[in-house]
């Protein structure tokens, strides 16, 4: 069995589950909640559904991190961090770190309770902020995925 092929396949499938889930939340769940629920109920619905997705996202980001660092090690690609043409590797790690901190630290320890409390005080503003945060995270994630696919297939920008 080719360990690199398995690592790459697990990496890609996990990215699809993770970023695909972010896309679903951003483009389907949040707009539907906004249309279907009263302002006071929006964050409750979002929280109920997002908590179920959080475990999928945590597992996916864990696999992405393990396989990504394994491929860096196995291919000995550490020197690529010194070259602007490989910006997408830095971006992948930055996006992974951002989501990992949010999923494993900020959400369970702070964000969930804080957002629910804020949604009781300012339901519309809190929901809009959550929606905008998801749009920004999705945009950054998709630019990174696009750059990673192009770069890993030889299209290097900023050479």
- Contacts by residues 86-94 (CB-CB < 8 Å, ≥ 24 positions apart): 86/151, 86/156, 87/147, 87/151, 87/157, 87/158, 88/144, 88/147, 88/148, 88/150, 88/151, 88/152, 89/148, 89/151, 91/140, 91/143, 91/144, 91/147, 91/148, 92/68, 92/144, 92/148, 93/68, 94/144
- pLDDT tens, position by position, for the chain (159 residues)? 699 999 999 999 999 999 999 999 999 999 999 887 787 788 888 888 888 889 999 999 999 999 999 999 999 999 999 998 999 999 999 999 999 999 999 999 998 889 889 988 999 999 999 999 999 999 999 999 999 999 988 877 776
Give domain limits for the chain. Answer: 3-152
Q: State both tokens at 3.
A: 């360990």
pLDDT of residue 156: 77
């Amino acid at each position: 069995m080719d360990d690199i092929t398995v690592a790459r396949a697990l990496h890609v499938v996990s990215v699809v589950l993770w970023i695909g889930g972010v896309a679903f939340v951003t483009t389907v769940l949040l707009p539907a909640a906004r249309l279907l629920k009263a302002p006071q109920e929006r964050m409750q619905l979002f929280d109920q559904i997002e908590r179920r997705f959080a475990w999928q996202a945590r597992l996916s980001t864990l696999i992405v991190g393990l396989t990504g660092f394994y491929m860096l090690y196995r291919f000995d690609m550490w020197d690529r961090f010194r070259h602007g043409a490989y910006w997408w590797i830095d971006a992948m790690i930055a996006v992974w770190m951002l989501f990992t901190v949010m999923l494993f630290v900020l959400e369970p320890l702070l964000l969930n309770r804080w957002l629910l409390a804020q949604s009781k005080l300012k339901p519309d503003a809190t929901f809009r902020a959550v929606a905008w945060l998801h749009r920004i995270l999705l945009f950054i994630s998709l630019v990174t995925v696009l750059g990673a696919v192009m770069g890993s297939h030889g299209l290097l920008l900023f050479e």
